[in-house]
Amino acid sequence: MGKRITSTTEKIMSRKSTDYFIIHCTATKPSMDIGFEEINRWHRERGFLSCGYHFIIRRNGVIEDGRTTDAVGAHCRGKNHNSIGIAMVGGVTQEDHTKAEDNFEPAQWESLKKLCDELHETYPEAQVKGHYHFSDKFCPSFDVDDWAKADLLWVEGDLVPGDPGYTE
């Protein structure tokens, strides 16, 4: 996993609870290696105070901080007050920016797992969800439930063949 980069943002209203880690994609082509700087600019152009995500995972796996983890996000309507937003860079095809594609790099998956595990230590009751759980968008371009069950040991349902209770 790459190094972790932090940024400073102005203080935004504090969140009172953390019930979800909501995974997003940036809906950018795999050739676009963007990060906090670009997303912050895009979100400000849309009228946000700053980047709406709390974390951005670049194509090389580097985790960049967006908003502080205690700040209300601007990433999922109706859930900003009780969630942490994590954006993985990529998520659409090179040819068509409207077509979802799971094109994330191995370093991004490793960083996503590490970040979720770290956040779970601080917020043990929070659930991992995809943006699509709360929106009609197929964001982040992969099945978050399947990923979480397979990769996060603290998420129930990660049975594999041979485990007691496993059924096909």
List the catalytic residues.
Answer: 24, 53, 131, 137, 139
DSSP 105-147: -HHHHHHHHHHHHHHHHH-TTPEEEEGGGSSSS--SSS-HHHH
Calculate the CA 82 to chain-centre distance: 14
User: Encoding tokens for residue 115?
Assistant: 């970040």
Q: Which residue's structure tokens are 């050739």?
A: 31
Q: Which residue's structure tokens are 């019930």?
A: 19
The whole-angstrom separation of Cα 99 and Cα 92 is 5
